[in-house]
């Protein structure tokens, strides 16, 4: 029971951390639990390209530990990447991608990696790490435009991946996707797309406790990537359900 003794050490590093036969050492333990996490990322196709949206929170368990985490990043010339899940793993992924893009650039043959290639690469990385039982604790959204082709895809922690006209990770898949399914259409203008995403972000802000009111929206078109400055949405807490949430569900005493 060598691992049981390590519990003292483990507990000093992260309160509440308990070692088991599955996670024998502190570094093993990292494989099963995320530390600082980001919540949902949303993405959709619109008339001229792809828009991604995410808030800037970084949660340490249920504590909102970081409030300026950039979770939307440009990758090469044609791609943007959004991440939810473990922030450190995301930053590791960004290092992989930097290397990938630089090595690709060094050929100097005029070719460049598009969103499709980046999506495929990320899938192989995620799937390979799960095969080693040491996953990267993220759900990733990949969007981009190359040769006039729009591309939007997502990759999960264990290598599940797909493309769609709109995607959302985590809570977003429960709360935002139904709104997007109802309101999304092929030739949305940029303004309509932003309006739709902000509606989704607001719902998430109200119902996802890890969500914070500080967002970034990233846009990619054939002309390149634009990532917005952080901004907040106007909230309205006067809904009757918010005023007296336990109305109609009172206890018997």
Partner 1 sequence: MALRGDWVYENNGGTCVAIAGLDYCVVAADTRLSVGYSIHTRDYSKICKLADKCVLASSGFQGDMKALQKNLAAKHLIYQHQHNKQMSCPAMARLLSNTLYYKRFFPYYTFNILGGLDSEGKGCVYTYDAVGSYERVGYSCQGTGGALIMPVLDNQLKSPSPLLLPTRDAVTPLSESEAVDLVKDVFASATERDIYTGDKLEIIVVNAAGIRQEFLDLRKD
Q: What character string, x for contact with partner 1 (CB under 8 A) and - otherwise, covers 111-140?
A: ------------x---x--xx-x-x-----
Burial class (CB in 10 A: 0-12, 13-18, 19+), 159: middle
Of 102 and 158, CB closest to partner 1: 158
Kindly state the smallest distance separating residue 78's Cβ from partner 1, in Å: 22
**Cα separation of 148 and 146, whole Å?**
5
Binding partner 1 by CB under 8 A: which of 47, 77, 116, 161? Answer: 161
Judged by CB, which is closer to partner 1: 33, or 68?
33
For the chain, report the end-to-end CA distance as a whole number of angstroms: 49
Contacts 24+ apart (CB under 8 A), 11-16: none
Could you tell me which residues come within 8 angstroms of residue 17 by beta carbon, excluding any fewer than 6 positions away?
Answer: 10, 11, 26, 29, 33
| CB of 13 or CB of 22, closer to partner 1 | 22
Stretch 12-51: interaction string toward partner 1, x if CB under 8 A: ---------xx---------x-------------------
Structure tokens at 19: 């070692």
Q: Among 159, 206, 213, 221, which residue sits at the site for partner 1 (rule: CB under 8 A)? A: 159
Kindly state whether residue 4 participates in binding partner 1, applying the rule CB under 8 A: no
Please say whether the beta carbons of 216 and 53 come within 8 A.
Answer: yes
Beta bridge partner(s), residue 41: 54
Q: How far is the CB of 191 from partner 1 (least distance, A)?
A: 26
Applying CB under 8 A, among 91, 160, 189, 235 the residue interacting with partner 1 is: 160
What's CA 132's distance to the chain center, in Å?
A: 22
Closest separation in Å from C-beta 43 to partner 1: 13
Bridge partner list, 85: 38, 138
Angle at 157 between CA 230 and CA 146, to 5 degrees: 60
Q: Does 183 bind partner 1 (CB under 8 A)?
A: no
Residue 60, interface with partner 1 (CB under 8 A)?
no
Binding stretches for partner 1 (CB under 8 A): 21-22, 32, 123, 127, 130-131, 133, 135, 154, 156, 158-164, 173-174, 177
């Amino acid at each position: 029971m060598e691992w049981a003794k390590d519990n003292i050490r483990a507990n000093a590093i992260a309160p509440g951390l308990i070692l088991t036969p599955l996670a024998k050492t502190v570094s093993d333990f990292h494989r099963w639990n995320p530390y600082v996490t980001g919540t949902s990322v949303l993405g959709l196709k619109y008339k001229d390209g792809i828009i991604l949206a995410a808030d800037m929170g970084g949660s340490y368990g249920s504590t909102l530990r970081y409030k300026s985490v950039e979770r939307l990043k440009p990758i090469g010339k044609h791609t943007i990447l959004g991440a939810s899940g473990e922030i450190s793993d995301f930053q590791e992924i960004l290092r992989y991608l930097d290397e990938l893009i630089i090595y690709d650039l060094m050929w100097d043959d005029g070719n460049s990696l598009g969103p499709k290639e980046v999506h495929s690469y990320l899938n192989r990385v995620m799937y390979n790490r799960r095969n080693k039982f040491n996953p990267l604790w993220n759900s990733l959204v990949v969007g981009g435009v190359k040769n006039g082709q729009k591309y939007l895809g997502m990759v999960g922690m264990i290598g599940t991946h797909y493309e769609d006209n709109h995607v959302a990770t985590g809570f977003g898949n429960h709360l935002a996707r139904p709104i997007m399914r109802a309101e999304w259409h092929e030739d949305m203008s940029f303004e309509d797309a932003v309006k739709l995403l902000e509606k989704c972000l607001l719902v998430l802000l109200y119902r996802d406790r890890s969500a914070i009111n500080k967002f970034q929206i990233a846009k990619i078109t054939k002309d390149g990537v634009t990532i917005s400055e952080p901004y907040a949405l106007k909230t309205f807490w006067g809904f009757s359900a918010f005023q007296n949430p336990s109305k109609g569900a009172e206890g018997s005493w």
